[in-house]
Structure 1
Amino acid sequence: MTKLLPGTASWTDKPLIEGGRFYPPDAKSAEARLRYYATQFPLVEVDAPYYGLPTVAQAERWVERTPSAFTFDVKAYSLFTEHPTPVARLPKAIQAELPPDLRIKRQFYRRDAPDDLVALCWSTYLDALLPLHDAGKLGVIVLQFPRWVTPNRRSHAYLEEVRERLGHYRGAVEFRNHRWLDAENRESTLDLLGDLELTFISVDEPQGFDSSVPPIAAATTGLAFVRFHGRNAAMWEERTRTSSERFDNCYEAAELDEWTPRIS
């Protein structure tokens, strides 16, 4: 029997807190909110590790504050998905390992960093998630690649590297460039993810942009994963102050019903 785990992208999302309709009035702290959230949903996506490497202490708190059957999907660190990574958000110990030319920069990319520093970031990230893994609460590592990552030999090779870096952890991949799923590349993209045992993330999002991926329902592993980003086309590629502005959208029941035959 298929097991369905619905959830949201973070229990600390500002609209979720400030909307006043989800959390009870006495849920004021991060601990209280997570404990309450876990009574309403069986799964959450942790967004914070994209912005800064998580710690063992954080993961231990997440384990302690949720029921035994609760699941955490965890966003990959920005450095791992070809995004610019602010130097100031690195742990001090890792900042100290930066070459002088990187230490003075505001941000850098993976291609700029020495291999040993990238490896240190990976080990720090994965070690921090061990409490979740050992408690049986770790779902997948969510790798969301930006629109400038396109299908080519270099990106294919990097996906292979990511699979190796993940080790026994499960990974799920979301693309933000339409070429990965166009008629020319769709089959090879899904085959590659399947061969690497990486879960393809299906998406519902505004269409008609270079960053738009068609709403294809496909499973490249035993796990099917769908993210609903909303259909706010006016804001989809705008440079907004917060990500929540881009996803400001309320689905109609009929829009969600479109997915019923795709996932049933």
Structure 2
Amino acid sequence: MPSPHTTEPPTGQMDAPAGILVGTCSWTDPALVSSGWYPPGHRDAEGRLRHYASRFSVVETDSTYYALPSARNSRLWVERTPEGFTFDVKAFAPFTGHPVRARALPPELRPPVPPHTLIRADELPGDTTHELWRRFRSGVEPLRAAGRLTSVLCQFPPWLAPGPRAYDLIERCRENAGVPISAEFRNPGWFSETQLPNTLAHLTRRDIPWVAVDAPGLPPAAHATSSRLSVIRFHGRSPSWGTGSKEARYRYRYGPDELEPWVPRIRALARHTARVHVLFNNCCADAAVRAAETMSALLAAV
């Protein structure tokens, strides 16, 4: 049944079927800002978000992966977007097992190392991780209180293979987030014929959406494990995936022929879940927003 927060899409967005929201994984990426997609008069912080929200009704906030969110920014995001606009907030890197630079931590929680030192997530004391989660929840609280926060997106690293340790980490994220989470896996082991049924059953029991991905080396497995939300993230198909710089890995432009096979998968998900978020993470100038526009048109076609 429809989500109680589902509303009409913003003016100017191509109409996708009800419950399917299409957007990108950032509205502040420097390559997008410099691409010319934002019109004159809409290139400051407020103008960019207002313009983006006039074109799309969902966005992923990826800045929260690199640093803790602030309640002030969350309040501004609510003020600058219309009713019905929603956010997926990416979990802070240490929460999902990724290393983090010391400078990304609040000064009073940093270990006594140079700011550029890379700290493994499991090297942080338990009380530090607990406090980081508390501050994360506080930072996104204005979004949650306004009904604009759909989920905390937990992107687990390629080295996290299925097993008790991984399931414990998922559970800690679910318990600490304070709002529903969604789970994206990068290790191919999660997609294997023997493991996939166990993974899907585990997520279904906990009402955690499986995040489908379009990326090299990972199958396009789209499954509904929550009746409230499904998520698909398009990372591009760069030949540098897994080896090049971040810019090289995500630099890719989708053509309609590459997106069209996803249309029946997305529609199938929409029959089993109240809302589907389709998010583009192919950061190359305006490539992500153009792909999102193309996908919206494909979904709107009869």
TM-score using structure 2 length? 0.79
Structure-2 separation of matches of 1:158 and 1:88:
24
Structure-1 separation of matches of 2:236 and 2:29:
15
Structure 1 unaligned segments of length 5 or more: list them: 208-212
Q: CA deviation at 1:155?
A: 0.8
In structure 2, the CA distance between the partners of 1:91 and 1:25, relative to structure 1 (3 Å rule), is same
Structure-1 separation of matches of 2:253 and 2:114:
43
Q: CA deviation at 1:250?
A: 1.5
Q: CA deviation at 1:103?
A: 7.2
In structure 2, the CA distance between the partners of 1:16 and 1:103, relative to structure 1 (3 Å rule), is closer
User: CA RMSD of the aligned region, Å?
Assistant: 1.6
The answer for the alignment partner of 1:32 in structure 2 is 47
Is the aligned partner of 1:260 residue 2:263?
yes
| Matched residue count | 250
The answer for the alignment partner of 1:210 in structure 2 is none
Q: Deviations over 1:186-211 (max 9, x none)?
A: 0001111112221100011113xxxx
Is the aligned partner of 1:62 residue 2:77?
yes
Contact 1:46 1:75 in 2 (8 A): yes
Structure-1 separation of matches of 2:69 and 2:138:
9
Structure-2 separation of matches of 1:160 and 1:28:
40
The answer for the alignment partner of 1:150 in structure 2 is 161
SS of 1:235's equivalent in the other structure is coil
In structure 2, the CA distance between the partners of 1:104 and 1:132, relative to structure 1 (3 Å rule), is closer
Query: What does 1:177-192 align with in structure 2 at a 5 Å threshold?
Result: 177-192=187-202
SS of 1:23's equivalent in the other structure is coil
1:170 to 155, 163, 180: 180
Q: Deviations over 1:79-102 (max 9, x none)?
A: 10111111111122323xx4x4x6
TM-score using structure 1 length? 0.90
Structure-1 separation of matches of 2:102 and 2:26:
24
SS of 1:12's equivalent in the other structure is coil
Structure-2 separation of matches of 1:11 and 1:43:
10
In structure 2, the CA distance between the partners of 1:104 and 1:32, relative to structure 1 (3 Å rule), is closer
1:138 to 108, 126, 149: 149
In structure 2, the CA distance between the partners of 1:103 and 1:17, relative to structure 1 (3 Å rule), is closer
Structure-1 separation of matches of 2:33 and 2:115:
36
Contact 1:15 1:244 in 2 (8 A): no
